A = this chain, B = another copy of it.
Amino acid sequence: MAVAERASTPVNGVAVDQLFSTIDAVKETPSIAKFKFRVNNQWATGSQNCSTATAFSGAHQELSHPKPFKLEADEPAILLGKDTAANPVEHLLHALASCVTTSMVYHAAARGIQIDKVESTFEGDLDLRGFLELDPSVRQGYQGIRARFKVSANVPDDQLEEIIRLGTGHSPVYDSLANGVPIAVTAERA
């Protein structure tokens, strides 16, 4: 039945027919693949500030989320904050974990690999001597990040690593963080 054949049969919760339609559309018009994502951040006091993700552009359109998403940040008491929200370096780990996971799930779906469960733990090492400028040989950022995935999927044991590489090999945040991004910052008076 034509309608049934055209109907979406999601794999891993991903509408693979739409994924392949997107790939075809981008092949035909590569410029629709260009996206711009944005947040606006407002400082409150001390270590407390809040970003809002409202709109983005892509596929030649200006697009909005159904509601603005508010993302809070704070620091724990030992780092002189009020501990009302995750801190920036924890948010960074979330960005990485969520992106590798989604990238893995989408690319597995495109290959017909059914994934039943994904759980991961991300841990990063930070030496505050960098932030505090106490030792020029110590960087400000994470010295290293370790991730441990637990995955349940319909593949042999020896293909489990390949599923993970579907995530790390396609993830925008993984690439950004592993290889670095040019960042340009300008300032004006409020």
User: Which A residues are closer than 8 A to B by beta carbons?
Assistant: 10, 12-15, 18-19, 22-23, 26-27, 30, 33-49, 51, 53, 56, 58-59, 63, 65-66, 69, 71, 73, 75-76, 78, 80, 83, 85-103, 105-106, 115-135, 139-152, 157, 160-161, 163-164, 168-190
Contact = CB atoms under 8 A, between A and B. Distances in A.
A185 to B, nearest CB: 4
Interface centre among A40, A88, A130, A132 (most CB of B within 10 A): A88
Number of chain copies forming the complex: 2
A39 B172 contact: no
A51 B148 contact: no
Contacts of A129: 26, 30, 33
Contacts of A97: 39, 41, 49, 51
Given A73-B99, A91-B173, A177-B181, 7 more contacts: A34-B125, A40-B119, A63-B76, A65-B76, A88-B172, A133-B170, A141-B173
B190 A119 contact: yes
Contact of A46 (B14, B88, B126): B14
Sort A-B residue pairs by CB-CB distance and give the 10 closest, nearest first: A13-B46, A13-B45, A141-B175, A141-B176, A88-B99, A73-B98, A43-B118, A41-B97, A33-B128, A91-B95
